[in-house]
C-alpha cells in the first residue's frame, strides 16, 4: 500500500490544524550527527534548563537506534514569520497526531517536537508536569534537521535577520 495513502488521514489532520506541509518520510533517511547536540550545548542559552533538553535527551547514537526501530514518520513543517506560540502549536499538533495514530493501533507512535519545550514557564527539573505532551526537539536528540528536510526538497534556510521567514519542523515516528 502507498504510504501517502495509508497515512493520508493524518496528513489531512495536520493541514486542518494549521501545518503548512506534511509528508511521509522514511526513518532510514533521517540524518543524525554528534555536532547537532554540541550546537545545543554551545549555542543555546536554554541548554540543560529542561527535561526535554540535552543532556537529558537521547544522544545521536541512541537516537539513531530509536529511528532504526521505526520505518516511517510524518514530517511536519510550519512556516513562521516570527517565533513565539506558533512553534509550540507545531509541537502540540504533532503530539495530537501521535495520539490519533496510537488510538488507531500504531502503538509505537512517538513525536519529536520543534524548539524548546514550552509546557511550563520554568521546568521543575524533577518530574515533568506534562509528560503526555512534552517532547524533545529533533535537534535535542542529535537530528540534523537541515540535511533531513533537504533530502525531501523541503524549504529550510539559515535565519539571518529577525524578520526572516522561518521553517520549523516536527517529526511523528510511526511503525
Per-position DSSP letters for 53-77, written without gaps between them: STTSS--HHHHHHHHHT-SEEEEEE
Cell of 79: 512556516
Residues 95-121 have pLDDT tens digits of 999 999 999 999 999 999 998 888 888
Residue count of the chain, please give it: 175
Residues 31-85 have pLDDT tens digits of 999 999 999 889 888 899 999 999 999 999 999 999 999 999 999 999 987 655 6
pTM over 0.85: yes
Strand partners, 5: none
Amino acid at each position: 500500500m502507498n504510504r501517502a495513502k495509508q497515512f493520508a488521514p493524518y496528513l489531512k489532520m495536520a493541514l486542518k490544524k494549521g501545518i503548512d506541509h506534511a509528508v511521509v518520510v522514511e526513518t532510514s533517511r533521517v540524518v543524525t550527527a554528534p555536532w547537532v547536540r554540541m550546537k545545543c550545548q554551545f549555542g543555546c542559552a536554554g541548554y540543560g534548563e529542561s527535561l526535554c533538553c540535552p543532556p537529558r535527551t537521547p544522544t545521536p547514537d541512541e537516537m539513531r537506534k530509536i529511528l532504526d526501530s521505526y520505518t516511517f514518520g510524518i514530517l511536519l513543517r510550519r512556516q513562521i514569520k516570527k517565533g513565539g506560540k506558533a512553534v509550540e502549536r507545531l509541537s502540540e499538533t504533532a503530539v495530537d497526531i501521535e495520539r490519533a495514530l496510537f488510538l488507531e493501533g500504531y502503538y509505537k507512535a512517538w513525536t519529536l517536537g520543534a524548539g524548546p519545550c514550552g509546557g511550563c514557564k520554568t521546568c521543575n527539573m524533577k518530574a515533568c508536569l506534562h509528560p503526555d505532551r512534552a517532547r524533545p526537539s529533533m535537534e535535542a536528540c542529535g537530528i540534523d534537521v537541515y540535511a533531513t528536510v533537504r533530502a525531501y526538497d523541503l524549504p529550510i534556510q539559515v535565519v539571518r535577520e529577525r524578520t526572516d521567514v522561518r521553517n520549523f519542523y516536527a517529526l511523528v515516528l510511526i511503525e
